[in-house]
Amino acid sequence: MARPVIMAADSDPRLLRLADSDNVLIATATIPAGEAVRVEGAVVRSPVSIPLGFKVAARDLGEGTVAIRFGMPIGRTTAMVRRGEMVHTHNLESLYMRTHARGEA
C-alpha cells in the first residue's frame, strides 16, 4: 500500500499528494475560484471554487488520461484538464464504476 506523502514546498499547503505516483491532488481546504494557487511549481487560478476533499490536476491531463489517486487508477478524463483545475464527474469517467458494473475485476 502506498504511504501518504505531504506535498513538496513547490505546491500550496492546501493540496495533498497521497502517493508518489498520483497525478491528482486533494484539496485539504476549500480553494476559492480565481485564487492564485501554486501547483508543482506553477501558479494557476481555477475558474471554479474547489471544495474540501475534491481532486485537483497536478499537471495537464489530456483527454483520455487515467487519473491516479493514492497510487490507484480512479478514472479517465473525458476532456482536457489543466493543472490546478478541479477533477470531478464533469471531466472524469469512473473506471471503478464501469468495471464494477460489468463484473470485471
- Tens of pLDDT, residue by residue over 4-63, are 555 555 889 999 999 999 999 999 999 999 999 999 889 999 889 999 999 999 999 999
For residue 6, CA distances in Å to 76, 86, 95, 99, 105 come to 24, 19, 26, 30, 31
Averaged pLDDT, 77-86: 95
Global confidence as pTM = 0.82
Phi-psi region of 53 (alpha: psi -120 to 50; beta: other; left: phi over 0): left
Higher pLDDT, 102 or 52: 52
The per-residue pLDDT for 10 is 84
The per-residue pLDDT for 95 is 82
CATH number of 5-102: 2.30.130.110
Q: Please, which residues have CB within 8 angstroms of residue 15's CB and are 6 or more apart in sequence?
A: 7, 25, 26, 27, 28, 37, 39, 56
